[in-house]
């Protein structure tokens, strides 16, 4: 099966069910390893996030992040609290165009756009990045293992040069 060399995820409403700028850093873990914001509000990942990242990582597929959040420090603080950094090879987390993120991801990784897959919850980002030749997937209600596996099958059935 032909697999992408890198799968890139948005963060907000893709890997976790909130916008980072709508919760209050600094973030921390309580005694039971639950991640909380500064007000004590629990923040969490979508239920399949860790399983998805583990599966891709174990298949040798590189994982990247592309987020336009204005809460850059908060997003970067959450990644180790959720133990996600062990899976992530490339991170582009800052406001601006996702096209800029992908140009940097392509340059840093050396992978062609056609060897990448991208999951995001916003149609405008899917439209912009698909024009680069990336296999893009709109995520309506958070990423799921089923969706990722289905899209890996779609990716493998496409002819790539």
Number of Cβ within 10 Å of residue 94's Cβ equals 15
User: Apex CA 57: angle with CA 14 and CA 143, to 5°?
Assistant: 15
| Residues with catalytic roles | 10, 12
Q: What is the mean pLDDT of the chain?
A: 96
The predicted structure's pLDDT at residue 4: 97
pTM of the model: 0.96
Asked if 12 and 141 touch (Cβ cutoff 8 Å), the reply is no
Residues 116-149: b if buried by 16+ CB within 10 A, e if exposed: bbbbbbbeebbebbeebebbbbbbeebbbeebbe
At 72-81, the pLDDT tens digits run 999 999 999 9
Render 70-112 in DSSP notation, one character per residue.
S-HHHHHHHHHHTT-TTT-SEEEESSS-HHHHHHHHHHHH---
The predicted structure's pLDDT at residue 159: 56
At 113-157, the pLDDT tens digits run 999 999 999 999 999 999 999 999 999 999 999 999 999 999 999
The predicted structure's pLDDT at residue 161: 45
DSSP 21: G
Question: Pairing mode, if any, of strands 62-67 and 6-9?
Answer: parallel
At 6-44, the pLDDT tens digits run 999 999 999 999 999 999 999 999 999 999 999 999 999
Query: What is the C-alpha separation between 53 and 84, in angstroms, rounded?
Result: 8
Please check the confidence at residue 160 and state whether its pLDDT lies above 60.
no
């Amino acid at each position: 099966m032909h697999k992408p060399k890198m799968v890139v995820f948005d963060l907000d409403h893709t890997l976790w069910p909130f916008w980072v700028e709508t919760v209050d850093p600094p973030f921390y873990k309580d005694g039971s390893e639950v991640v909380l914001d500064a007000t004590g509000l629990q923040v969490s990942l979508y239920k399949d996030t860790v399983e998805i990242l583990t599966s891709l990582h174990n298949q040798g597929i590189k994982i990247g992040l592309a987020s336009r959040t204005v809460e850059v420090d908060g997003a970067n603080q959450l990644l180790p609290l959720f133990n996600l950094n062990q899976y992530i090879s490339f991170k582009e987390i800052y406001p601006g165009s996702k096209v800029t993120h992908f140009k940097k991801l392509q340059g840093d990784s050396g992978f062609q756009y056609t060897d990448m897959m991208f999951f995001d919850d916003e149609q405008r980002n899917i439209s912009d990045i698909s024009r680069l030749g990336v296999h893009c997937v709109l995520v309506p209600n958070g990423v799921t293992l089923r969706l990722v596996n289905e899209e890996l099958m779609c990716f493998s059935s496409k002819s790539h040069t």
